[in-house]
Chain A
């Protein structure tokens, strides 16, 4: 019983906890439990097997945290949903990816759509989720120098991870295309729909379809429904 963890104190108020053999869904579940059980924890960030806790009272709760992980039950029910994300393959790096991989653009698109991806956690910017599952056959490292401007809602990948840029920002990932859906809305609670552990599937749309879906998304009162099937 209990979870095997390693504590790593990074700063007086930041403690990283590495979990052995864990999944994104488990990490998300443990992070939720931590936030609800410890009122002195101000923030929790989880990604790639590590949960990081921000608290001004870490010294006071260290022992309690250790017992929390000791008593943590591994048998929790994990559930996930599958979301269908439209993509217009107009990415700035599409040709670069195809050339680098010695494949046609059509083949890159095909491989990208065939795969199912798993959301593994949030990071970088508000609403930016990481997803695993990028097939090796199309995978590339981060660009050697980041682009100053990555368009909002770009679908991009690097180093085996896939993501959607919620805003225009600088970024070093390889851009495949754009989705008409905006995955972060600060006026909604919660401001995001996709949860760690959820599955993602991409399907191709063209420019006119993109414009239509963009409008539908903006005015939709049920965005989960739009994401639940191919539109």
Chain B
């Protein structure tokens, strides 16, 4: 969900940025290592210990057989990442290790699950980690979407404080938007992707996220970029957010 934090953890370990990481949402867990490797924690600040000793985020940590990392709860933000040297070798479906319920039947790990990784004793790179830069700002850049004209008063978009109302991997609901609601016009089902902001007939805005559907019938009134996606992913239910409407040409680089 916060791809930037996931990539940071991988980069610090010298991994491919797209190597599989473990994602924790608010709640942590206990993870035991059966062979030596190196790990890195990044994303939402979450206290963790390695064999009882407090660990540090955004740096490389050596783990030995039988070591245990215990995470508590995130104190701020939503998604925390645990990366391992070489990436987790979980099973692949349709070219992805992402645990989408429609492909794997389940969407999360449960107690006792075992995930493979390659054991390693040595590490060649020396990338220095930097402190977490999870973006917790309440202002998020948005651009006009294909059905921008379905917004009643777009000029007031930047003046209203919106509330993050619901959170899952498909999308993040933002309220209230009834205020912006023009008489509802359904569109023919058309393409959507992470970053598209839909306006529903009941007047909610939904910021579509990483596991969103590929087509949808609600007007695509706005659009956010990778930075905005990472930012809103870390915003908890109940947080306030303000949209900053920016010209699309700034995004397209024209």
Chain A residues at the B interface, C-beta cutoff of 8 Å: 8-12, 14, 16, 45, 47-48, 50, 52, 54, 122-127, 130, 141-142, 144-145, 159, 161, 166-167, 184, 186, 191
Contacts and interface: CB of A to CB of B under 8 A. Distances in A.
Contact of A124 (B93, B188, B216, B253): B216
A48 B195 contact: no
B189 A48 contact: yes
B94 to A, nearest CB: 6
Nearest to A52: B191
Nearest to A161: B189
Contacts of B251: 11-12
Dominant SS among interface residues on chain B: loop
Among all A-B residue pairs, the 4 with the closest Cβ atoms: A123-B215, A52-B191, A48-B188, A124-B213
Given A9-B252, A124-B216, A142-B186, A16 B191 contact: yes
A12 B252 contact: yes
B145 A10 contact: yes
Contact of B193 (A54, A130, A142): A54
B65 interface: no
Nearest to A145: B202
Given A11-B251, A48-B189, A124 B214 contact: yes
A55 to B, nearest CB: 12
B66 to A, nearest CB: 35
Contacts of B143: 11
A123 B202 contact: no
Contacts of A144: 201-202
B17 interface: no
Most buried by B among A126, A144, A167: A126
Contacts of B246: none
Contact of B102 (A50, A54, A167): A167
B23 to A, nearest CB: 20
Contacts of A9: 252
Contact of A11 (B100, B190, B213, B223): B223
Contacts of B195: 11
Nearest to B146: A10
Nearest to B100: A126
A167 B223 contact: no
A141 B186 contact: yes
Given A10-B145, A159-B217, 7 more contacts: A10-B191, A11-B195, A11-B251, A11-B252, A124-B215, A130-B215, A142-B201
B115 interface: no
Given A8-B146, A125-B102, A144-B201, A45 B252 contact: no
A166 B100 CA distance: 14
B51 to A, nearest CB: 39
A51 to B, nearest CB: 9
B189 A130 contact: yes
Nearest to A124: B213
Contact of A126 (B103, B186, B191): B103
20 contacts: A10-B146, A12-B251, A12-B252, A14-B191, A16-B190, A45-B191, A47-B191, A48-B188, A52-B191, A124-B214, A124-B215, A125-B213, A130-B189, A141-B186, A142-B217, A144-B202, A145-B201, A161-B189, A186-B103, A191-B94
